Amino acid sequence: MEFKIERADFSRCISRIQGIVERKNTMPILANCLIKAGKTGIDIMATDLDITIIDRSPAKVKKTGNASLNARKLHEIFRELEEGEVEFKEVEATKVEIKASNFTCSLQGINPDEFPVLPTVEGFQFFEIESKVLAEVISKTIYAAATEEGRFTLNGIFMEKLEGNLLRFVATDGHRMAAIDRDVEGAKDLKLQAGIILPKKGMLELQKLIAGVEGKVSLGVKDNHIALKTGDTVLFMRIVDGEFPDYKRVIPEGNPVKVLIGRDEFLKSLKRTSALVDEKARAVKIFFSKEKMVIESSNPSYGVAKSESACEYQGPSLEIGFNDRYLFEILSTVSGGKIQMEMKDELSPVLFTIDTDTKYQCVIMPMRV
């Protein structure tokens, strides 16, 4: 293997794959990337066995071949090199020499044949989706996904196809739920049967990858994998195996109590009380009455705080408890507009919607306070 590549090109590829390479030392080869030098350029790949990323860059290849080198070290080296051409050359089996202006380095790799077999884009059923729509559905659901490793079917974003071109994305951790529908023209021929669960770690990587990408990206499904293509990069992730819970049954309907409050005002009011929320329980009490909403936090060690704001209110007075983080997270995903809360009583799930987007629904289970 021998090739020359622009520092900026290699640097871009190697920094993109850093999120995937294994930091723990369970399988040393997973801390490495695989570099495949073909006739006209190189592919750089990394995998954690569930998520795989493949990046392509032009290069002047003198001798094709593969090498597997530590991805983090390559990243650190390239971060400090000056612009210009960098030469990679295999000098002994698994040993690669890197030469740049005023710099040489000899890196010990691992036999590239030991690298896991990686997925390829063949056979994937791709459809196009606006990058910013995909980024939005992730950021408006992923916070509600479970983080505990035990509940693996909740540890991701559920994607299902509704009528027409409508895609729905849902996440829940059992205490709250977020669901959003978006019309994706390219998805009209997509077949998903009962829906698929996209793993949280992979979706966080996907989020980073499409950040700042203008226009459309391609999303594809095949067997138990999905793939995302943007420019010269492909990200594969294994779909979570298992059944997503019946989230529809927690969306409350026909609620007698309705509140309408400005999102900014709600957020400010919540922040004003946050200093005295008990750090463990994280409970705030909200009192609703005609035209007024009072958020109260209390902390046995320090005291009590109350914050008031105006709201439009329909129904009998009500006192209800919430985890303040859950409220913060919902309010942080939207900007401006008015939040509508619909509820039955202090024990039943509460539906949160925003007047600027009727296709985004969040549910929080109240806390007993």
18 binds a second copy (CB under 8 A): no
Q: Which stretch binds a second copy (CB under 8 A): 133-141, 183-191, 264-272, 281-289?
A: 264-272
Specify burial of residue 311 (Cβ count, 10 A radius: 0-12, 13-18, 19+): buried
Residue (of 57, 65, 55, 54) closest to 41 by Cα position: 57
Q: What distance in Å separates the CA atoms of residue 221 and residue 198, rounded to the nearest whole number?
A: 11
Give the integer Cα–Cα distance in Å for 142 and 38.
Answer: 38
Beta-carbon count within 10 A of 242 CB: 13
Q: Which of 174, 275, 345, 356 binds a second copy (CB under 8 A)?
A: 275
Q: Which is nearer to a second copy, 305 or 369 (CB)?
A: 305
| Phi and psi torsions of 41, nearest 5° | 180, -170
Measured in degrees and rounded to the nearest 5, phi and psi for residue 56 equal -125, 145
Give, rounded to a whole angstrom, the gap between the first and last alpha carbons of the chain.
66
Residue range at the interface with a second copy (CB under 8 A); choices 44-52, 75-83, 182-190, 256-264? 75-83
Q: With DSSP H G I counted as helix, E B as strand and the rest as coil, what are the percentages for the chain, rounded to 5?
A: 20, 45, 35
- Does residue 70 belong to the site contacting a second copy (CB under 8 A)? yes
- Distance in Å, CB of 147 to a second copy, minimum: 25
Looking at 305, 318, 365, 369, which residue binds a second copy (CB under 8 A)? 305
Q: Considering the rule CB under 8 A, would residue 303 count as an interface residue with a second copy?
A: yes
Question: Which lies closer to a second copy via its Cβ, residue 153 or residue 309?
Answer: 309
Nearer to a second copy, 81 or 234 (CB): 81
Give the closest residue to 27 by CA, choosing from 48, 46, 45: 48
Among 60, 304, 347, 355, binds a second copy (CB under 8 A): 304
The answer to whether 352 and 263 are in contact (CB under 8 A) is: no
Give every CB contact of residue 163 below 8 A, 6+ residues apart in sequence. Answer: none
Judged by CB under 8 A, does residue 290 bind a second copy?
no
Q: Does 309 bind a second copy (CB under 8 A)?
A: yes
- Interface residue with a second copy among 23, 26, 102, 249 (CB under 8 A) is 102
Q: Token match 């705080």: residue?
A: 305
Instruction: Provide, rounded to whole angstroms, the least separation between the CB of residue 287 and a second copy.
Output: 13
User: Looking at 120-128, 138-146, 242-250, 270-278, which segment touches a second copy (CB under 8 A)?
Assistant: 270-278
What is the nearest approach in angstroms of a second copy to the Cβ of residue 37? 19
**Binding marks (x or -) toward a second copy, 133..172, rule CB under 8 A?**
----------------------------------------
The count of residues interacting with a second copy (CB under 8 A) is 34
Q: Report residue 151 as tokens.
A: 């509940």
Among 175, 216, 238, 271, binds a second copy (CB under 8 A): 271
The strand pairing partners of 34, in sequence order, are: 45, 68
Check residue 325 for interaction with a second copy (CB under 8 A). Answer: no
326: tokens are 């859950």
Choose the stretch contacting a second copy; rule: CB under 8 A; options: 33-41, 47-55, 106-114, 319-327: 106-114
CA pair distance 151, 157, nearest whole angstrom: 13
- For a second copy, the binding residues (CB under 8 A) are 70, 73, 76-77, 79-82, 95, 102-108, 268-269, 271-276, 299, 301-309
